[in-house]
Structure 1
Amino acid sequence: MLPVLLLLFILIPVLELSLMIHVGGVIGTWNTVGLVIFTAVVGGSLVRSQGLETLHNVRAKLANGETPGKEIVEGMMLAIAGVFLVLPGFITDFIGLLFLTPITRAPIAAFMFKRMRVNMVNQGQFNQSGHNPFSSNGSGPNDHNTFEGDFERKSEEVKPEHRIDDKDNSER
């Protein structure tokens, strides 16, 4: 995994620089700089509007009692798109636009969500009995053995008249 990341951190900037130099030679340096700034500004405003729409969809699904899994993946993709659009370069702008446009974002999000669910099931994150390990409704297998409370250690000696004897406990 490390060699792949290292390759990406070296390869992508080199490709971005070579493409910007080529585009700068064709349309001019200042036009290239203006285009990079323009894509960052327009991309940022589009990410904001698409993010608000995705947030509205998440709230609607939650209000209906549904799990907004795909919408959360789309929200993560929008955040990644925002980062890619702010980074200078045309390759990252293209990837950012792929994640930003709803037509291309929806199938990518559906694929990623399906992969995430498959990985969670394979790693045992979902229990096959249907029991939700995060619920606190007392339906867990060991809930009858669970006690909640606070304790405090005191370093003081307990006076003999305040001690509990074993025979006092047996009489109760």
Structure 2
Amino acid sequence: MRVFLILLLLFPVIELAVLIKVGSMIGVLATLLLIVGSAILGAMLLRVAGVTTALRARERLARGETPDREMLEGLMVAVGGVLLMLPGFISDVIGLFCLLPITRGLVIDRLRSRVHEQAARQRAFSDDPEAQMRSGPARPNVIEGEYEKRDN
């Protein structure tokens, strides 16, 4: 958690340093045009990708399948579009990695395999009697008895 916090605090500083370095190399006007152009590209991608992802998810739902891959791809495209809209070149590079189909597929496949591994790990310990005793009984308490129906 500390590493994430440190990276979160250092990211704007590093982004600003890269922005200044690129601005000194190619000029202020070219740097501003690149930043504005990437923001416009990110906004367009968010609009187009959102609609296409929704359509693909609707098609999968109509076939009776879960649209998990489409939802993850839509999320990756949304993150990539937002990163392109942020001013800076490091966020643009990370955003482009989120938008490229090859890297997006690799990240999604890796994420899905980790989710399946985690689910398998949880299922492996679900039959553990000690874990059930710690978490309490899995079934509700049932009081057995007999009854007799009487008409008044």
Q: State the TM-score bracket (shorter-chain normalisation).
A: 0.7 to 0.9
Amino acid corresponding to residue 122 of structure 2 in structure 1? Q
Regions of 4+ moved over 4 Å: none
Q: Say which structure is richer in helix.
A: 2
Cα 1:48–1:103 change in 2 (3 A) is: farther
Match of residue 82 from structure 1: 81
- Percent sequence identity is 40
Larger RCO of the pair (alpha carbons < 8 Å, separation 6+): 2
1:6 and 2:5 aligned: yes
Match of 1:35 in 2: 34
SS in 1 for 2:69: helix
- 1:14-52 deviation digits (Å, cap 9, x = unpaired): 211111011000111122122111101012212322232
**Count of residue pairs the alignment pairs up:** 132
How far off is 1:118 after superposition? 2.5
Q: Kindly indicate whether the alpha-carbon contact (under 8 Å) linking 2:79 and 2:95 is maintained by their aligned counterparts in 1.
A: yes
1:71 counterpart residue number: 70
Letter of the 1:14 counterpart: V
Question: Residues 106-129 of structure 1, C-alpha deviation per residue, up to 9 Å, x if partnerless?
Answer: 2211211222232234335xx99x
SS in 1 for 2:66: coil
- For the residues of structure 2 that align with 1:52 and 1:115, how far apart are their CA atoms? 28
Q: TM-score, normalised by structure 1?
A: 0.67
Structure 1 counterpart SS, 2:64:
coil
Q: Does the 8 Å CA contact 1:73/1:112 hold for their aligned counterparts? A: no
Q: 5+ unaligned residues in a row in structure 1: which ranges? A: 129-141, 146-168
Structure 1 distance, partners of 2:106, 2:56, is 17
Please list the CA deviations of residues 38-85 of structure 1 after superposition, one character each: whole Å capped at 9, or x if unmatched: 101012212322232222221111111111111111122122112211
Contact persistence 1:73–1:113 (CA under 8 A): no
- Alpha-carbon RMSD across the aligned residues, in angstroms, is 2.5
The separation in 1 between residues aligned to 2:40 and 2:99, in whole angstroms, is 14
The amino acid of 1:86's aligned partner reads M
Partner in structure 1 of residue 54 of structure 2: 55
Alignment of 1:92-131 (within 5 A): 92-124=91-123
Partners of 1:107 and 1:56 in 2: CA distance: 23
